[in-house]
Structure 1
Amino acid sequence: MSSPLSSAKSAKSSRASSSRSLAHFQLTLAMITVGSTVIASKIIGAGLDPMPATALRFAFALPVLLVLMRATGTAFPRPGLRDACLLITQAAIGSVGYTVLLIAGTQRTSAADAGIILGTLPAVCALTAAVVLHERLRASTLIAVVVASLGVALVTLAPAAQHGGNRSLTGDALLIGAVVCESLFVLLNKRLATPWPPLAQSTAMTGIGLAVSAAAALPDWAATLHALPSHAMLAVAYYALVPTVGGFWLWYTGAARVTGAEAAIFTAVAPVSGVVLAALVLGEPLTLARLAGLALVVAAVFVTAGPAIWRRAQDRPDE
C-alpha cells in the first residue's frame, strides 16, 4: 500500500508531466504558425508591395495586442533613452526589416525554400551572439552553422529543375537578410537594461513597426489603397492575427513551462511546417534537394539546442 507521501509525489509528477506535454503542444502549434508565414508572405507578395503590406500587417495586429494588454493588466515599462533607442532599432530591423525582406524574398523564390532558409535562425543567432557579444563560441555552434549552411547551399545551388522552375538567388539572398535581421533583433534584446514583459514588448514592436513602415510606404499608399486584392488582404490579416498574435501567445505560454533550451528545439518545427504547407497549399514540389536541405537545417537546430538539454538532464536529480 502506497504511503500518502508517495501518492502526493506521484500526483505532483503527473501534473508536471501533463503541464510539460501541454507546453510541447503549444510550442509545436506556435512553430507551425511561424512556418505558415512563408505561405502568407508568398500570397501577400503576389498582390501587394512589401512595405505597405508590412504596415498593414502591423495595423491589423496592434489593436488586438492592445486589447490583450488591457485584459491581462500588462503595462508598458518606462524605458530610459538608451533602451528607447534600442527598442526603435529592434522594431526597425527585426520587425519591419524582417517582414519586408521575407515578403520581397518570397516574391522571387519558392515558399518551400524560404521555409528552409528561415530555419537557420537558431544557428545564426548563436553565431551572432558569439561574434558580437563575445559569448563563448562552442564547438556545437560552429557545427550547427556549418550544417545549416550546407542545407541552405543544397537548396539555393540546386539546378532549377530541382526547384520546380521557381528559383532566384536574389530571393534567397533577401531571405538570408531576413534571418540576419531577426538574429540582430534577438541580439539587441539582450542589450536592454530592463527586460520587458513579452506581451508589452511585442505590442511596442508592433506599434513602432507600424509607424516606421507606414512612413516608409508613403510614396506607395495611393497605388496600394487604389487596389487591395482580397487574397492579399486575407493573407495579411492571417499573418497579423495567427502567427503574430496567436503564435506569440502559444509560444510564450508554452515556453514558460519549459527551459529555454528545450523550447529552442521546437523551432525545428517551423521549417518543416513551411515546406509541408508549401506543398499542400501552393503545390510546390517536395524535391530531393529540398528534403535533404530541410533535414540538414533541422539537424542544425538540434545541434544548437541539444547540449544545453543534455547538461540539464545530467544535473536533474532522479524523481
Structure 2
Amino acid sequence: MRSAYLKMTVASLLFGSYLVASKLILREVPIFTATFVRLASACLFLGVYVVLKRPGRVRPGRRDSVMLGLQALLGVFLFSVFAMYGVKFTGAIEAGVILGMVPVSISLVAMIFLGESISFRRRLGIALAVLGALSVNVLSSESGAGSSGSNVALGSFLLVSAVVCEAIFVTFGKFLARPIPPAALSLILSAAGALMFAVPAVLEYDWSMLAEVSWQSWALMIYTGIAINGVAVVLIYDAMDTVDTTVAAAFTALTPVSGAVLSVALLGEKFHPYHLGGMTLAAIGVFVVSTEPAGNKKRLARGQREVRASEPNDSLVCR
C-alpha cells in the first residue's frame, strides 16, 4: 500500500510541473506543435518500455475501440488544447488550482453518465472546491495578477472545460470491458493523440524554424512527454490497481501545490494569500469527496458489472 501511495504522490507532483513547463514552452513554440512533439516523445518512450516489458498482444474490440477513441479525443486532444490555451491566458498558479478540481468533477460526470447519485457529502466537497477555484480567479482578475482581466476569464473557462474533459476521460475508462496494462494503454492514447495533433501542427507552424527553438524548450517538450504521458500516467494507472479511485483522487490535491511552488520558483509569479486560501478550499473539497463511505462506489461497480455482462465478449484480448 505504501508503494501505491508513493506512486500517486510522485505522479501528482509531476502533473503539477506540466502547467509550469507548458507556460515556458509556449513562449517559443505554438500549442499544436508543442503538444505533437510532447506526444511523439511519449510514444517513443512508452514504445521502448512496452517492447521491453512484453505485456502481450492487445486487441480492442469494437466497443472498447469506441471508448478508447473517446478517451483520446477528450482526455488527450481536447484536454491538451483547453489546458494549454488556459494556462497561456492565466497564471500557472491559477491554472493549477482549477485543474485540481478534476477528482471532484468526476462525481458530476459519474452522476450524468453512470446514473450515480450525489450525496450531501459530495455536494459539500464540490461546493468547497468550486468556491476555492473561483475565489482565486476572481481575486486574480481584480488584482491584475497573471494576464489581463478578459484573458483571465477566458483562460478560466478553458481550464474548466479541460477539467470536464479529464473527468469524462477517467469515467469512460471504467466502461472498458477488460483492463489494458497501464503502459500499453498510455501508449495507445498517446499515439492516437499524436495523430490528432499532426495535421494542425503542420498547418500551424513552419517546421524549418524548429532549429531556432532553444534547447530548453526542446528539453521541456520531451520532459512533458516522458514525465507526464509516460511516467505519471503509468504510475497512476498502476497504483489504482491496488487502491480505490477516490483514494487516488485525494492525492491529486498535491497537483496545484506542486504547480504553485514551481510557478514561484521558475516563472517568478507572485504567491498571494488568496492563492493559499483557494488551494486550501480546493484541497478540503477533494478530501471531503475522497473520504466518502464506499456505498456509492459499490453501487457503481455493480452497475458496471451489469453493463459488461450485457455486452458481447469481443472487446479485448491480452496474451
Could you tell me the TM-score, scaled by structure 2's length?
Answer: 0.85
The percentage of counterpart residues that share the same residue type is: 30
Whole-angstrom CA distance in 1 between matches of 2:236 and 2:252: 10
Q: Give the aligned partner of residue 303 of structure 2.
A: none
> Counterpart of 2:86 in structure 1: which amino acid?
G
2:182 to 198, 218, 222: 198
Q: Give the aligned partner of residue 124 of structure 2.
A: 143
Deviation at 1:159, TM superposition (A): 4.9
Q: Which deviations, in whole Å up to 9, do the C-alpha atoms of 1:98-140 show, x marking residues without a partner? A: 1122111111110000110000001111111112221122222
SS of alignment partner, residue 190 of structure 1 = helix
> Counterpart of 2:252 in structure 1: which amino acid?
T
Deviation at 1:63, TM superposition (A): 1.3
Tell me whether 1:93 sits opposite 2:74 in the alignment: yes
Matches within 5 A, 1:114-263: 114-160=95-141, 162=143, 164-167=145-148, 168-222=152-206, 225-226=209-210, 227-263=212-248
Q: Give the aligned partner of residue 4 of structure 1.
A: none
Deviation at 1:277, TM superposition (A): 1.4
The answer to whether the 8 Å contact 2:97/2:279 transfers is yes
2:279 to 294, 301, 304: 294
Q: Give the aligned partner of residue 8 of structure 1.
A: none
Q: Which deviations, in whole Å up to 9, do the C-alpha atoms of 1:208-230 show, x marking residues without a partner? A: 01111112323124257454343
Whole-angstrom CA distance in 1 between matches of 2:74 and 2:136: 26
Q: Give the aligned partner of residue 59 of structure 1.
A: 40
Matches within 5 A, 1:35-46: 35-46=16-27
Structure 1: stretches of 5+ with no match in the other structure: 1-19, 313-319
SS of alignment partner, residue 307 of structure 1 = coil
SS of alignment partner, residue 157 of structure 1 = helix
- Computing the radius of gyration from Cα coordinates, the structure with the larger value is 1
Whole-angstrom CA distance in 1 between matches of 2:249 and 2:100: 12
Do the aligned partners of residues 86 and 258 (structure 1) sit closer, same or farther apart at CA in structure 2, a change above 3 Å counting? closer
Aligned length: 293
Deviation at 1:69, TM superposition (A): 1.1
Q: Give the aligned partner of residue 270 of structure 1.
A: 255
Deviation at 1:259, TM superposition (A): 3.4
The answer to whether the 8 Å contact 1:261/1:309 transfers is no
The answer to whether the 8 Å contact 1:262/1:309 transfers is no
Whole-angstrom CA distance in 2 between matches of 1:205 and 1:193: 17
The answer to whether the 8 Å contact 1:45/1:106 transfers is no
The answer to whether the 8 Å contact 1:162/1:287 transfers is no
Do the aligned partners of residues 259 and 166 (structure 1) sit closer, same or farther apart at CA in structure 2, a change above 3 Å counting? same
Q: Once structures 1 and 2 are overlaid, which stretch shifts more, 280-289 or 69-78?
A: 69-78
Q: Give the aligned partner of residue 279 of structure 1.
A: 264
Q: Give the aligned partner of residue 11 of structure 1.
A: none
Q: Give the aligned partner of residue 305 of structure 1.
A: 290
Q: Which deviations, in whole Å up to 9, do the C-alpha atoms of 1:168-227 show, x marking residues without a partner? A: 111111111111111111122122233322221111000101111112323124257454
Q: Give the aligned partner of residue 30 of structure 2.
A: 49
Do the aligned partners of residues 49 and 281 (structure 1) sit closer, same or farther apart at CA in structure 2, a change above 3 Å counting? same
Do the aligned partners of residues 224 and 298 (structure 1) sit closer, same or farther apart at CA in structure 2, a change above 3 Å counting? farther
The answer to whether the 8 Å contact 1:140/1:303 transfers is yes
SS of alignment partner, residue 29 of structure 2 = coil
Whole-angstrom CA distance in 2 between matches of 1:85 and 1:300: 33
Q: Which deviations, in whole Å up to 9, do the C-alpha atoms of 1:280-317 show, x marking residues without a partner? A: 221211112211111111111101111247999xxxxx
Structure 2: stretches of 5+ with no match in the other structure: 298-319
Whole-angstrom CA distance in 1 between matches of 2:98 and 2:57: 34
Do the aligned partners of residues 224 and 153 (structure 1) sit closer, same or farther apart at CA in structure 2, a change above 3 Å counting? farther
Q: Once structures 1 and 2 are overlaid, which stretch shifts more, 215-224 or 69-78?
A: 215-224
Q: Give the aligned partner of residue 314 of structure 2.
A: none
SS of alignment partner, residue 257 of structure 2 = helix
> Counterpart of 2:164 in structure 1: which amino acid?
V
Tell me whether 1:108 sits opposite 2:93 in the alignment: no
